[in-house]
Amino acid sequence: MPHVAITMIPGRDDATKCPLALKTQEFLVRELGIDPKFVSVSIEDIPMEDWQKSMEQFPDDILYVKPGV
């Protein structure tokens, strides 16, 4: 069961986040050929001043797309 955790700086409302989560789920369903009931998506706001520390929790071997690249 894939779970995608999206982190972003604050400023987007639920009217923006919900469609993003649904589109992310739909993409994974298509790409992986699985049922939507197996895909979950979360979105968390991280304050800009905590962003770097938040990114450090992801080891290089699991961060497939690095920021700024």
- pLDDT category of residue 69 using cuts at 50, 70 and 90: low
Closest CA to 27 of 51, 54, 6, 57: 6
- pLDDT per residue as tens digits for the range 4-60: 999 999 999 999 999 999 999 999 999 999 999 999 999 999 999 999 999 989 999
Check if the beta carbon of residue 20 is closer than 8 Å to that of residue 43: yes
Residue 66 has a CB neighbour count (10 Å cut-off) of: 9
| Helix and strand element counts for the chain (H, E) | 2, 2
Q: Please state the pTM of the whole predicted model.
A: 0.87
